[in-house]
Chains A and B, each alone.
Chain A
Amino acid sequence: DAGITQSPRHKVTETGTPVTLRCHQTENHRYMYWYRQDPGHGLRLIHYSYGVKDTDKGEVSDGYSVSRSKTEDFLLTLESATSSQTSVYFCAISEQPPDIRPDEQYFGPGTRLTVT
């Protein structure tokens, strides 16, 4: 299995509080992604990174920010959590650039976030 960890694995927080989720990889892959998965919607891309300090928005980026100061870490921040952000969050990594040749993505174990 690819070396990807996510922390925390479970979190319950209150509306309006900031939350940061961490994704850590040991594969030295350049590309990292944050998805959320909700019933009826499947996996949706929030943000992705194509290198240290290089990030871009996905399809559901509103209310989320990301940072990547090191190759191995990709942080997802909810500045002010809302109940609509209750979801399962998956981090993924890939070696190949998605705009040249889509390659398989390896996923972390996920973080279950509940916003009350």
Chain B
Amino acid sequence: RKEVEQDPGPFNVPEGATVAFNCTYSNSASQSFFWYRQDCRKEPKLLMSVYSSGNEDGRFTAQLNRASQYISLLIRDSKLSDSATYLCVVPRQGSYIPTFGRGTSLIVHP
């Protein structure tokens, strides 16, 4: 299994839809996880941190499933402005230098 794997998408959803992405990781010792958002031709920016079972921030919910070694990001009531690439970040095996997934592309259309 790769250190961090994400479905590249793109996920094409209409406004108002609920969409979820998964990210699988190989380091079972990982204790913390991050979701970053990256707009086209821009730098990544932190969206959410996940240190235990999950985290919720408005329309965004991040959940952790340690048994199956994946984290998920759920976006409710999608907005056009949610269109971006979402990067999953997990500490590297044997180190805590983060490893970035390749990202999942989301396109929200009217």
Contact = CB atoms under 8 A, between A and B. Distances in A.
Contact of A107 (B44, B97, B101, B102): B44
A1 to B, nearest CB: 9
Interface residues of B, number: 18
Given A90-B43, A104-B34, A109-B42, A42 B103 contact: yes
Interface of A: 35, 40-45, 48, 58, 90, 98-102, 104-110
B91 A90 contact: no
Contacts of A99: 95-97
A101 B43 contact: no
A100 B96 contact: yes
B29 interface: no
B98 A90 contact: no
A105 B91 CA distance: 12
Nearest to B30: A102
B102 A108 contact: no
